[in-house]
Amino acid sequence: MSLGAFLAALQRYLPADRILSHPAALAAYESDALTAFRQRPLAVAVPETQDEVIATVRLCHQHRMPFVARGSGTSLSGGSLPVKDGIVIALNRLNRILKVDITQRFAVVEAGVINLDITRAVAHSGLLFAPDPSSQPICTIGGNIAFNSGGAHCLKYGMTSNHILGLKVVLPDGEVAHLGSESLENVDADWVGLFVGSEGLFGIALEATVRLLPKPETYRTLLAAYRSMEAAGDTVSAIIASGLLPGALEIMDNLSIQAAEAAVKAGYPTDAAALLIVELEGERAQVEAEWERLQVIIERSRPYLVKVAQTEEERLKIWKGRKSAFSAVGRLSSDYIVQDGVVPRRRLGEALARIDQLSAKWGIRVANVFHAGDGNLHPLIMFDGRQPGALERAEALAGEIIDLCIELGGSITGEHGVGMEKRRYMPRQFGQVDLEAMQRLRRAIDPLELANRGKVFPEGEPPALHHVGPHPLERAGVISRE
């Protein structure tokens, strides 16, 4: 079937103004947050209801049309990059909160609901949705489910998978399945656990039953500045070894500190080699007891500056700096790659020292921001895409960092997913038998490999075969980054 005939068939389910095919309209969808790669889709379908999504998927299956589900496009691994000769199904308009049960502490939300909007909707009842990735104000639940997102507070509360009770999904052949339930108790196989983190290979989540938690009674948040990254890393080890379980443990290096401070004026000391953010939360009596133990550990670690948030406004200011770090690095570099390898906590100091060595070796600046509590590194590798070969050199450095994480007993990804970016590294972490088992499972659910084709697995044609440099309009002199 030709594209024109497919789009004509699609108009039986969607009005023409919600089927985008003009090049200008498609330009907004040709990349996600991994902007080094672009692939223009054949078309973008913009459903407003679950039935429209289901009908679109069934049509794709009938005509063997590859498709990619997309929310806000915040994927940093190319996970929502369009598939060559396929369509994008944009889910942003599936943004309804369908049910909230305050007594049982759950909510039923559609896939296009913004993460932070769930907490806003239940805040009056003293509840919240715990996963809090840095893109929390714009990322969608569907994307969080696809990549099992975490966030600053995942040390204590876990990842998205720990907060999804049930799912309604449409499989790649158009079948609708209900996984899990509204209860924490589940006697069936863990189909929800299988689907969460599957990066869109098993179909599209239409709605999710999410777990709600009580908002902590109190918070105690401090910021400690150190003259070396090693001292900050050792402090993290000491905190964990003491038996304390903070809500969050985050570290930023000097480059990220400077960028965040310039962007949001968070009150960070710009001369610090490393900044440690520690937050305790929970019942007041428990937090106060833990606070006394934490202060002893911090004092022994000899930071040259300690700031304690005295008000909620000051606490939010500290977190605004941390959560703005990724975007703020754009002040230091026109382009950058964000990695998210994982290393054991006990080897954090070693990993950071090796990253510094690799940065010097390649002559490329690397800003480090990471979830120190679970060893999830976020090195931001800076380059100028206008310089020939700069992207390729940055990617080579990123590859060495991934190899380092594997060597130290970690993983190639913590929460950003494999997507397109890391698929070539899968054989370095997994053996052939493991990869074949994963493929068999994927093909059992999607024999035609229509859903997010070309992602995760190392073989097969990727969605985009080449890097992109400056934007075409920039090359033409229409726009400028200066």
| Cα–Cα dist 306/150, whole Å | 27
- Based on the fold, state whether residues 398 and 301 are members of the same structural domain: no
| Domain stop point among 157, 188, 214 | 214
Q: Is the pLDDT of residue 330 over 90?
A: no
Q: Taking the model in full, what pTM does it have?
A: 0.90
Instruction: Evaluate whether 278 touches 226 at the Cβ level (below 8 Å).
Output: no
Instruction: Evaluate whether 79 touches 86 at the Cβ level (below 8 Å).
Output: no
Question: CATH code at 340?
Answer: 3.30.70.2740
Higher pLDDT: 266 or 140? It is: 140
Tens-digit pLDDT profile for residues 154-197: 889 999 999 999 999 999 999 999 999 887 777 778 999 999 99
Task: Evaluate whether residue 9 is within a structural domain.
Answer: no
Tens-digit pLDDT profile for residues 348-403: 888 988 999 999 999 999 999 988 888 899 999 999 988 999 999 999 999 999 99
Task: Evaluate whether residue 203 is within a structural domain.
Answer: yes
- Based on the fold, state whether residues 224 and 268 are members of the same structural domain: yes
Of the chain, the percentage scoring pLDDT greater than 70 comes to 95
The average pLDDT across 119-123 equals: 97
Q: Which helix (H) or strand (E) holds 381?
A: strand 376-383
- Based on the fold, state whether residues 315 and 405 are members of the same structural domain: no
pLDDT of 482: 37
- Based on the fold, state whether residues 344 and 366 are members of the same structural domain: yes
- Based on the fold, state whether residues 156 and 239 are members of the same structural domain: no
Residue 1 banded pLDDT, cuts 50, 70, 90: low
Helices 50-62 + 3-10 axis angle, to 10: 150
pLDDT of 467: 53
Tens-digit pLDDT profile for residues 12-31: 999 999 999 999 999 999 99
Tens-digit pLDDT profile for residues 302-315: 999 999 999 999 99
Question: CATH code at 321?
Answer: 3.30.70.3450
- Based on the fold, state whether residues 308 and 351 are members of the same structural domain: no
pLDDT of 460: 65
The average pLDDT across 88-94 equals: 98
Domain around 309: 218-328
Of the chain, the percentage scoring pLDDT greater than 90 comes to 76
pLDDT of 222: 96
Phi, psi of 71 (to 5 degrees): -100, -105
Phi, psi of 408 (to 5 degrees): -85, 5
Q: What is the DSSP string of 290-335?
A: HHHHHHHHHHHT--SEEEE--SHHHHHHHHHHHHTHHHHGGGT-SE
| Domain stop point among 268, 302, 328 | 328
Q: Is the pLDDT of residue 475 over 70?
A: no
| Cα–Cα dist 346/238, whole Å | 10
> To 5 degrees, how large is the angle CA 323–CA 479–CA 324?
5
Beta-bridge mates of residue 90: 70
Task: Evaluate whether residue 238 is within a structural domain.
Answer: yes
- Based on the fold, state whether residues 285 and 379 are members of the same structural domain: no
* DSSP structural state of residue 479: S
Residue 432 banded pLDDT, cuts 50, 70, 90: very high
- Based on the fold, state whether residues 232 and 194 are members of the same structural domain: no
- Based on the fold, state whether residues 249 and 223 are members of the same structural domain: yes
Question: CATH code at 116?
Answer: 3.30.465.10
Cβ neighbors of 259 (< 8 A, separation 6 or more) are 325, 328, 329, 330, 331, 332, 367
Task: Evaluate whether residue 6 is within a structural domain.
Answer: no
| Cα dihedral 145, 146, 151, 154 sign | positive
Tens-digit pLDDT profile for residues 452-469: 999 999 876 665 544 555
Query: Hey, how many other C-beta atoms are within 10 angstroms of the C-beta on 296?
Result: 11
Q: What is the DSSP string of 118-186?
A: HHHHHGGGTEE---B-TTTTT-BHHHHHHHT--BTTHHHH--GGGGEEEEEEE-TTS-EEEEE-SSS--
Task: Evaluate whether residue 400 is within a structural domain.
Answer: yes
Helix or strand or coil: residue 281?
strand
| Domain stop point among 312, 328, 344 | 328
pLDDT of 374: 85
Total domains in the chain come to 3
| Cα–Cα dist 440/144, whole Å | 24
The average pLDDT across 139-168 equals: 94
The average pLDDT across 216-232 equals: 93
- Based on the fold, state whether residues 312 and 236 are members of the same structural domain: yes
pLDDT of 183: 78
| Cα–Cα dist 196/210, whole Å | 12
